Amino acid sequence: MTAAPAPHVFTIPASVPFVPTLLRALIEGKLVPGFPAAHDPLALADATLYLPTRRACRLARDLFLEMIGKSAAIVPRIVAVGDIDEDEIAFAQMGAGALASEALELPPALGGLERRLLLTRLVLKWAERIAPDQQGEAPLVANNPASALALADDLARLMDDMTTRGVPWERLDGLVPQALDRYWQLTLEFLQIARETWPKILAERGAIEPAARRDALIKAEAARLAAHADGPVIAAGSTASMPATAELIAAIAKLDRGAVVLPGLDLELDARSWQLIGGGEEAAARVSSAFEHPQFAMQRLLQRIGITREQVTLLGTPAAHRRERYVCEALRPAAATDAWKRLAGGDVPWIEGALQGLKVIEAANAEEEALAIAISLREAIETPAKTAALVTPDRALARRVLAALERWNVAVEDSAGEELANTPAA
């Protein structure tokens, strides 16, 4: 009996362009041994490439011909991890077996506007039942459509997160002691909407949660690939923070012709600190897992695959500034920050290089912050061969920067798009 092949797991440093490096490694045959066949424009068509977002998929398709250096070629099947094609699962080869039947029997998802309005109606009914303790007091919960819609959106996000993480609602039992303020009890009563009322609505309509349906399709795809994979399968760019995604990526890593490419896995952090990310014993005390650490999900994924960090192959050469090392130190687990003492000695020449080119602007207010960013972007545009980008989760900041650039007639692309209500009439 032959032993199973070692999983093919790689990582691309954060300072290296991810998609070009990934495609170059695939074309040069570094990811899957013997693939693709040299000088065969059709060879890449046998592969399936899973990327984390649709935007990454579009970028990969655009770069393929440029990377191949040919006038025409059939690119691999490129799929976003959350966009599993259930028809492919259902009508796959005989290897899928019962998986096809399960995929066809999945109920439809109840999502979008219908879900939002139904939850808003339930929130309004719940708010109507809450009366102040004394006459004339302000209500504990605002009972109006706008507030109900906001609460419904927050509840929907919590429901998605609970479903994605596989956490049962029963875990909330006993979370809030009776001795605490009544407001906390109201919070638990509010969550009964998701725990008791909402499942009944789903059952009446013969539907399931969008997150539950997505996870079911991802798990079915993982089982299908484990049973029968036609060609090379590569999963790249995902940190596997969702359990269903982690199951899919682990299944791909264990395929004979599978490969996984992780984004920015920390290969420089010392072994003790790396272990503390996942929790453990330190100085006879229990250290909790660092769930919010950016490396936590990838550490768990390596454990799931059954390999160590030392078995991961590096693709690309990290930039000379060694900024990854600086970030590694800044994000060191709290239980291992005693290692910062050695940095105080001054024998760390890489710190100066890591900070070279970085600027800090202390803005007095939000308008000044947006104006400083807009000026930096404008200067970059006016400098030949220079590029610039603003990366922020703050949509209000992004809108202020866009407004400042529009005053100078500078057109920029906003990857977040524009709300329909703000678009001009045709």
222 in the same domain as 196: no
SS3 readout for 205-241: HCCECHHHHHHHHHHHHHHHHHHCCCCCEEEECCCCC
291 in the same domain as 267: yes
Q: Is residue 98 part of a domain?
A: yes
Structure tokens at 66: 């440029």
52 in the same domain as 19: yes
175 in the same domain as 120: yes
218 in the same domain as 88: yes
Tally the domains of the chain: 3
Helix axes 395-407, 366-382, angle to 10 degrees: 50
Q: Is residue 84 part of a domain?
A: yes
Mapped onto helix, strand or coil, the DSSP state of residue 11 is strand
Q: Is residue 341 part of a domain?
A: no
- At residue 93 the predicted structure's pLDDT band, cuts being 50, 70 and 90, is very low
Choose among 363, 180, 206: nearest CA to 375: 363
Q: Is the dihedral of CA 212, 215, 221, 224 positive or negative?
A: negative
303 in the same domain as 182: no
218 in the same domain as 97: yes
Rounded mean pLDDT of 352-360? 86
Structure tokens at 41: 């424009």
Domain around 383? 366-417
Which CATH number characterizes residue 236's domain? 3.40.50.300
288 in the same domain as 191: no
Based on DSSP, count helices (H) and strands (E) in the chain, helices before strands.
16, 8
163-219: pLDDT as tens digits: 988 888 888 877 766 666 667 778 888 888 999 999 999 999 999 999 998 888 888
109-142: pLDDT as tens digits: 898 899 999 999 999 988 888 766 666 565 667 6
Whole-prediction pTM: 0.82
Q: Return the pLDDT at 41.
A: 66
Domain boundary residue, one of 283, 304, 320: 320
Choose among 219, 228, 217, 222: nearest CA to 95: 228
Q: Return the pLDDT at 21.
A: 94
Inform me whether the pLDDT recorded for 88 exceeds 60.
no
**Is residue 306 within 8 Å of 299, Cβ to Cβ?**
no
